[in-house]
Chain A
Amino acid sequence: MTERRHTFWRDIVKYRTLLFMISPAVLLILLFSYVPMAGIVIAFKQFDYKGGIFGSPWIGFDNFKFFFQSGDAWRVTRNTALYNIGFMVLGNVLQIASAILLFEVGGKWFRKLMQSALFLPYFISWVVVGSIAYNFFSYDVGTINSVLTSFGMERIDIYNTPSYWPYILLFFHTWKFLGYGTVMYLAAITAIDTEMYEAAEIDGANVFQRIMKVTVPNLAPTFIILMLLAVGNIFRGDFGMFYNMVGSNGMLFSATDVIDTFVFRLLMDTNDFGMSSAAGVYQSVLGFVTILTVNYAVRKYDKDRALF
């Protein structure tokens, strides 16, 4: 007992510089992620100003009712997960591909230029992207329909046809985050020991063999970590995107509703804090369970690659 305490203090003294360096990050997480967790109680309360967060009366699971009573809970939860899986898989595959391509093509200037060009969409807000999309897809004045009619073809009614929208959303999301992910993977590729490439070359590997046998396996840890992080948020829809692309267009809800937009719409007028917190808790619990499960699976497969 005394022995262990002894080493604990000794460790603290020994690593004081490192511990000091990590303290701002720990503080930040504590302050912004752990302290607010107490607010979860709002989800189980009839919130009023007099009582505040802790003094308001308890009402159990009543705040959750509106969500499940709608009959749409399953549909929007499924939509959210499917969209996020789509974004994750397509996004990461394309990001890795473009990172490898950029790495393989020579020319420092060309690489930098491409990198910046790919990164640019990341900085365009969804509000603007929504307007750009409107100018493409609008029935009367949209670019696509103008081109179609000039070739003597029929106009297509994109804003009233739900079946186009999964592809449209997938496209815009991938387009927006391609540059961001590419830079991340490019950094990971540059971190691969160049000796491996030299060895591969001496052994007579061609470009494809080099990519498949050296680059891709070395990217796997980065890929798995990013996936695990993304999985934790799989039940959180990107509200900015869905809301700005679709808005309150009821025609498209069947294909485009995610938990976030659905809950926003339901509570837009009632402004009930308890109910919105309930929706947040629902998402968090689902995300928590998913990440535990996936992490467990990864650990089974390869202990070193799990998050925790």
Chain B
Amino acid sequence: MMKKKWGLALTSVLAASLILGACGNNGGNNEAASNNAGNKNGNASSSPAADDKIDTSEAVKLKMIMLGPKPADYDQVFGEINKQLQEKVNATVDAEFLDWSDWGQKYPLKFAAGEDFDLIYTSNWAQYNQQALKGGFLELTDDLLEKYMPQTWAAMPKVKWDQARINGKVYMVPGNQSTEFTDKLVLYRGDLLEKYKLQPIDSPETYKAYLEAVAKNEKGITPYGLEASDSKTHNLDKQLLLQKNGWNMLGDVPLAYKVDDPKGQVFNMYDTPEFKDLLAYYKELADNGGWSRNALTNKGDTTGDFKAGKVASMSHNISALGGIMAFVNNEHPEWKPTLADLSPDSKKSEAISTQNGIAVHATSKNAERALMVVDLLQNDKTLHDLIMYGIAGTHYEPVGDNQFTKVVDKFGNYNTFSNWAWNSPLNRVDTTFPQAAQDIQKKWGTQVYHYPLETFVFDNSKVLNEITNVGNVMLRYGVPLEYGLIPDTAKGLDTLQKQLKAAGIDKIHAELQSQIDAFLANQANKG
């Protein structure tokens, strides 16, 4: 009898947990945004202090959101930062970190849930436009900036503010760094190149020869390791299609324009003969084992694999590859890691100022103090050093006024997050950053090309339905085709184009073109 009762109880408990579990799922979508309505009037800019002296008598605690994992030595470094900030502007900062794995989902929720925070990292790749258009950021007027950020106001070239404008308004304090390139390049192993007596890599063809030689002769080494397996195009498209031909692709749709086309004529990349040729190139590489047949389900970590000698080449931007090269030079100098630009003569693109920046939350109650803190972190030498590199002697060794050396096993304990928001002329140069990478940067500096559409931002709100569906088509039909997994390339391309049409690419095309035309006309009027 006793036994029976217990059995029944257990069944009901388990069943109940099932029901509750199910309910939990239902709720998740909706509850996030439930308490936003209340505090929307905290716009602090409306009440500037009466006289010119800024009143900082009341101590404030600012909450700041950064991307990347929380540093192990957070308490140590931020303790020091807060001590200084307390002294200078009577404020302390409490940072929250959104990990790389899921920041994309958490970031918009911070706004939607009406969370109480003051500062947040943002960038053209970190939802700057989206959140600004949705009203998540405080508009930074010239008055505000001049009054509360005098040092930044003086140091920042006007063009950087202009590049950060959305519909004429500034919503972020951009990083103030002179040059940062968005172009990508490849890193490969010089020892393997010598072993197979190949030409130095400086073009798609020489690169292909290298990958194929490795695939054929080096068992256990993957010739090309992917940067990311969930991107909507082949990882090498940026170099072999865009940089090589001088195109710029807009957002996540396969629409591009030639950077030197004064009219900004938009075209579909998948319809071009260049793309068709590239597909043949990819197909041959794939068939010859240029990358893993599991490319689309890749669960590996390419950087780690390259450092461990399991991958023979990878692609990324110059600062990332420079760092990896420095590491390998240290551990395995015999591998002779080498950088290669696959289109050395092409026009190079410099990042616009919105590449890194920090914004004030629209509902922040302490916007003035938040701006003052940002001003110091970007322009005060001591604070800038602290936020960028950690504690001198512990995390890094300062070399002169403008260089530094990482303390190998300690630097990573602090430098884990998006402190690039405070990039400024005070940045120190890493003494271990390879000379080869510095040379390339110097060379690229002479090839930088500025064009009117550089700062154009596509407002996709009118074609959101089409954008979502085009993205899906690219992932489903485009990416497998580019990685050479579809046996019949011509047929695959045909399917891709048909599906894109069905998904509404033409509507996006028309909308984009009209926005570009308007943008250019507007610029011509101003000039």
Contacts and interface: CB of A to CB of B under 8 A. Distances in A.
A73 to B, nearest CB: 11
Contacts of A40: 30
B112 A273 contact: yes
B295 to A, nearest CB: 9
A48 interface: yes
A229 B25 CA distance: 14
A50 B135 CA distance: 7
A269 B252 contact: yes
Interface in A176-212: 180, 183-184, 187-193
B403 interface: no
Nearest to A135: B299
Interface string A256-278: 00000010011111111101110
Contacts of B333: none
Contacts of A163: none
Interface stretch (A12-20, A77-85, A243-251): A243-251
A183 B14 contact: yes
Given A270-B464, A275-B464, A70 B294 contact: no
B230 A247 contact: yes
B297 A191 contact: no
Given A37-B30, A39-B30, A229-B18, A52 B294 contact: no
B108 interface: yes
B8 interface: yes
A39 B31 contact: yes
Contacts of B477: 250
Contacts of A188: 7, 11
A275 B15 contact: no
B104 to A, nearest CB: 7
Nearest to B230: A248
Nearest to B11: A187
A23 interface: no
B7 A190 contact: yes
Main secondary structure on chain B at its contact with chain A? helix
Given A247-B229, A249-B297, A275-B464, A33 B23 contact: yes
Interface stretch (B34-42, B57-65, B84-92): B34-42
Given A32-B23, A250-B479, A49 B292 contact: no
B29 interface: yes
B465 interface: yes
Interface residues of B, number: 68
A72 B27 CA distance: 26
B293 interface: yes
Interface string A71-101: 1100000000000000000000000000000
Interface bin, chain A: 35 or more
A14 to B, nearest CB: 23
A146 interface: no
B407 interface: no
A48 B22 contact: no
Contacts of A58: none
Contact of B112 (A49, A184, A192): A49
Contacts of B27: 32-33, 36
Contacts of A265: 471-472, 475
Contacts of A175: none
Given A49-B36, A50-B40, A54-B37, A66 B30 contact: no
A267 B130 CA distance: 13
B134 A139 contact: no
B3 A190 contact: yes
Nearest to B504: A69
A116 interface: no
Contacts of A229: 15, 18-19, 22
Contacts of B504: 69
A95 to B, nearest CB: 12
Interface string B75-102: 0000000000000000000000000000
A197 B293 CA distance: 57
Nearest to B31: A36
Contact of A33 (B6, B26, B465, B478): B26
Given A229-B15, A275-B468, A160 B485 contact: yes
B144 interface: no
Contacts of A275: 464, 468
Contacts of A271: 104-105, 108, 127, 130
A166 interface: no
Interface string A25-38: 00011001100111
13 contacts: A28-B20, A33-B26, A48-B134, A49-B362, A55-B37, A66-B469, A69-B466, A140-B292, A229-B15, A251-B480, A265-B471, A267-B468, A269-B467
Cβ-closest 3 pairs across A and B: A39-B30, A191-B7, A249-B296
Given A48-B134, A50-B40, A139-B294, 7 more contacts: A140-B222, A190-B3, A247-B296, A250-B475, A250-B476, A276-B29, A280-B26
Interface of B: 3-8, 10-11, 14-15, 18-20, 22-27, 29-31, 33-34, 36-37, 40, 104-105, 108, 111-112, 114, 127, 130, 134-136, 222, 229-230, 252, 292-294, 296-297, 299, 362, 460, 464-469, 471-472, 475-480, 485, 502-504
Interface of A: 28-29, 32-33, 36-40, 42, 47-50, 52-55, 65-66, 69-72, 130-131, 134, 138-140, 157, 159-160, 180, 183-184, 187-193, 222, 225-226, 229, 232-233, 236, 246-251, 253, 262, 265-273, 275-277, 280, 284
